[in-house]
Amino acid sequence: MLQRLENEARLTEEAHRLYGLLKSVSKEDGSPWTYDDCLAAAPYTLSINRFKKEQNAVILAHSYTTPDLVYGVADYRGDSYELALKARETSADIIVFAGVWFMAETAKILNPDKKVLIPAGRAGCTLADAMTGEDMQKLRAQYPGVPALCYINSLAEVKAQCDACVTSGNVFDIAQKIPGKELIFVPDLLMAENLEAELERRGTPKKIISAGGSCCVHDKYRPENVQKLRANYPGIKVVAHPECPIEVCRLCDYVGSTKGMSGYVAQSEATCFGMLTEFGLVNRLEAEHPDKKFIWPFGVCRYMKQNTLANTLEALIDPRPEQVVEVAPALAAAAKKSIDKMFELTQ
């Protein structure tokens, strides 16, 4: 009886902790997170946080995963670059990466001796999956001598064949530092267009040669989405990710990485923002700026949302084979060179 009461008290306390963090956060249908949602999440967050401690594990959660993960159990939350840095620095024995496959793969490349787990298993990404190592090999053969950058949203077999890796936060600065008038940039065709335009704007033009695909979330936005936001919300500031089409980016007040958009919102005196990006970032901003209003037309990454509290607990207790990240040592060593080059060029 006493034990049952103690358990109930712990659950109630945890539900209150979660509700304090999530009460200003919305769900996809526009309804808010409720105390009951938090009470349902509490047994998972309590168990995950206990196992995490016992196993000396660290949980890294991308901002596009769900808020119960981001605020309930993650030790660090952020975009690909911020989490790659955390993965490089951690002293934990186990890294649990709530994100998609290429991110967990990057964490493993940076930590070949650690156990790296991904709750969602081999969760894909339309960008990373748009290009194979063979495609990259052909492209480099077609343009001999042209330096090549790859977006971090790429597979290890692509990274291994590039001179440096980049993220949406450092792509413009790193591209500017690469000598020459031509540059290969893969696998985001839309970011390649934005890159070429930005380099032109900075007075350091380059012809960008690209191949690959696009992000299935950001490639859906159209100029009409920006126009509608401005018509319906006078004074609104519209922000977008550089994975969006260039004709959309040109109409926005700010274009930048997940971290860049967060920084823009934090320093802006505006109170209403149109968010042309994935819903998870909207949730983070709602939690961190309850005094500001965020209008989100649409955009959910179904791959990121495959990470749940249930499969995070499963990965910690008894991971399925697809939740354990392995990268062949020779491939990891080659891909690491391009990731290390990014860290070097970002300093």
Q: What is the binding site for ligand SF4 (CB under 6 A)?
A: 64, 100, 125-127, 153, 215-217, 278, 301, 303-304
Task: In angstroms, give the least distance from the CB of 122 to ligand SF4.
Answer: 13
Q: Which CB, 182 or 322, lies closer to ligand SF4?
A: 322
Q: Which CB, 46 or 70, lies closer to ligand SF4?
A: 70
Q: Which CB, 130 or 339, lies closer to ligand SF4?
A: 130
Task: In angstroms, give the least distance from the CB of 104 to ligand SF4.
Answer: 12
Task: In angstroms, give the least distance from the CB of 3 to ligand SF4.
Answer: 43
Q: Which CB, 14 or 219, lies closer to ligand SF4?
A: 219
Task: In angstroms, give the least distance from the CB of 86 to ligand SF4.
Answer: 18
Task: In angstroms, give the least distance from the CB of 342 to ligand SF4.
Answer: 17
Task: In angstroms, give the least distance from the CB of 97 to ligand SF4.
Answer: 12
Q: Which CB, 38 or 60, lies closer to ligand SF4?
A: 60
Task: In angstroms, give the least distance from the CB of 220 to ligand SF4.
Answer: 10
Q: Which CB, 215 or 335, lies closer to ligand SF4?
A: 215
SS (H, E, C) the chain: CHHHHHHHHHHHHHHHHHHHHHCCCECCCCCECCHHHHHHHHHHHHHHHHHHHHCCEEEEEECCCCHHHHHHCCCEEECHHHHHHHHHHCCCCEEEEECCHHHHHHHHHHCCCCEEECCCCCCCCCCHHHCCHHHHHHHHHHCCCCCEEEECCCCHHHHCCCCEEECCCCHHHHHHHCCCCEEEEECEHHHHHHHHHHHHHCCCCCEEEECCECCCCHHHCCHHHHHHHHHHCCCCEEEECCCCCHHHHCCCCEECCHHHHHHHHHHCCCCEEEEECCHHHHHHHHHHCCCCEEECCCCCCCCHHHCCHHHHHHHHHCCCHHHECCCCHHHHHHHHHHHHHHHHHHC
Q: Which CB, 127 or 178, lies closer to ligand SF4?
A: 127
